[in-house]
Structure 1
């Protein structure tokens, strides 16, 4: 039934939270944040992941610009931990962007399912991340060879859930709607966005998030995809 599979990258295949936590722990030590009153690397990581996820959700909804995220996330994290001195936050962000994309952890069984699907389907990425960062992530995790096309916000001049990014991906890959399937973890950006152009969808939902309208398929673990594809 399907010939083309379109995957989201962050949180779907590439384990953003684990990779981010490792990067944040290194920054915590390198920048001696304990001396500035940050109680632990774990507390720093938890606050960062929570705030960064909220900022990216706002970005998806066109509430903030990408530059706003880079400028404000570390001051917001320190503020959430009761630290008002935000000196050096630009250096924290620079180090984070250097460390993060070089991490290689994938979500549970993601590599196994990609290997299972490779050669059976034409596979592509649709991501709201930026091309240079996403390319390093995919190379670090050794998954770039699975995918024919990587569609980014820059290449499509649109970001999920805007239908234009999905339309661009279909056109650039030579795929049609009936033969294509979108797979992602973000219900609003990946699932609702893809449904708006008529695509069937797989909601990768390891945390059993409750949603109003179900995707075509919902899975909590990648091994469940074998019953669909």
Structure 2
């Protein structure tokens, strides 16, 4: 298929959210002396937070909660999961987390190699449900902003994945047609089913090899497979 436009998700697809987040959580654990509050394991703190944060973002994608709920509740929920009263933590850890996180530069394995391979051959764009101001800093910190023509967020599209409206908005501002566009992402519901509902072909970036009921156009475990396709 001679695709003319490529659309990428950002977090967990190109930008290594888990690694970058874990680095921030390690810094918070040390800076705010969370061991003194009874959180005796940095790794357990990180694991609980990442699991809770992932679930909250999944609920957000399903329109069950708002952005503000994530920001206000993810750290208290992690503390309670660890058996710690959130009231004991006086610092605004969420504000500090949001300050640190977007400046982390790590990409997933072979992501930069993929972008170098595609750069200049296809117009490329980002479609993300992440916070607009944070996503822009992430891309600058990882030095990937120059690869992309447009960055579409749920805020400027007034819709979020998997709603077809966000993909239609992205197509419109990019001057692209669904029939010759390809959506690439790691989230089966938001990226794959959402884009398919808007008429785009899809690449499911699926390193874990999870089974899905409705097959994407391409189901890959490593970026080298996409380089072979494109």
Range class of TM-score, shorter chain: over 0.9
TM-score, with length taken from structure 1: 0.98
Output aligned runs, 1:71-86, within 5 Å. Answer: 71-86=72-87
**CA distance in structure 1 between the aligned counterparts of 2:100 and 2:178, rounded to whole angstroms:** 37
**Structure 2 residue runs without a partner (length 5+):** none
Cα displacement (A) at 1:182: 0.1
2:145 corresponds to 1:166: no
Cα displacement (A) at 1:86: 3.0
Output aligned runs, 1:8-157, within 5 Å. Answer: 8-88=9-89, 91-157=92-158
The answer (yes or no) to whether the contact 2:209–2:221 under 8 Å persists in 1 is yes
**CA distance in structure 1 between the aligned counterparts of 2:88 and 2:75, rounded to whole angstroms:** 10
**CA distance in structure 1 between the aligned counterparts of 2:149 and 2:131, rounded to whole angstroms:** 17
The answer (yes or no) to whether the contact 2:32–2:91 under 8 Å persists in 1 is no
Cα displacement (A) at 1:41: 1.3
Cα displacement (A) at 1:85: 3.6
**CA distance in structure 2 between the aligned counterparts of 1:156 and 1:33, rounded to whole angstroms:** 39
TM-score, with length taken from structure 2: 0.98
Cα displacement (A) at 1:89: 6.2
**CA distance in structure 1 between the aligned counterparts of 2:90 and 2:193, rounded to whole angstroms:** 35
**CA distance in structure 1 between the aligned counterparts of 2:184 and 2:71, rounded to whole angstroms:** 27
The answer (yes or no) to whether the contact 1:6–1:180 under 8 Å persists in 2 is yes
1:222 equivalent in structure 2: 223
2:176 corresponds to 1:175: yes
The answer (yes or no) to whether the contact 2:205–2:222 under 8 Å persists in 1 is yes
**CA distance in structure 1 between the aligned counterparts of 2:213 and 2:83, rounded to whole angstroms:** 36
| Partner deviation per Cα, 1:177-199 (whole Å, 9 max, x = no partner) | 11100000000000000000110
The answer (yes or no) to whether the contact 2:37–2:88 under 8 Å persists in 1 is no
Aligned residue for 2:179, secondary structure, equals: coil
Cα displacement (A) at 1:48: 0.6
Cα displacement (A) at 1:88: 3.5
Shift of the 182–40 alpha-carbon distance from structure 1 to 2, 3 Å rule, reads: same
Cα displacement (A) at 1:226: 1.4
The answer (yes or no) to whether the contact 2:127–2:153 under 8 Å persists in 1 is yes
Aligned residue for 1:106, secondary structure, equals: coil
Aligned residue for 2:162, secondary structure, equals: coil
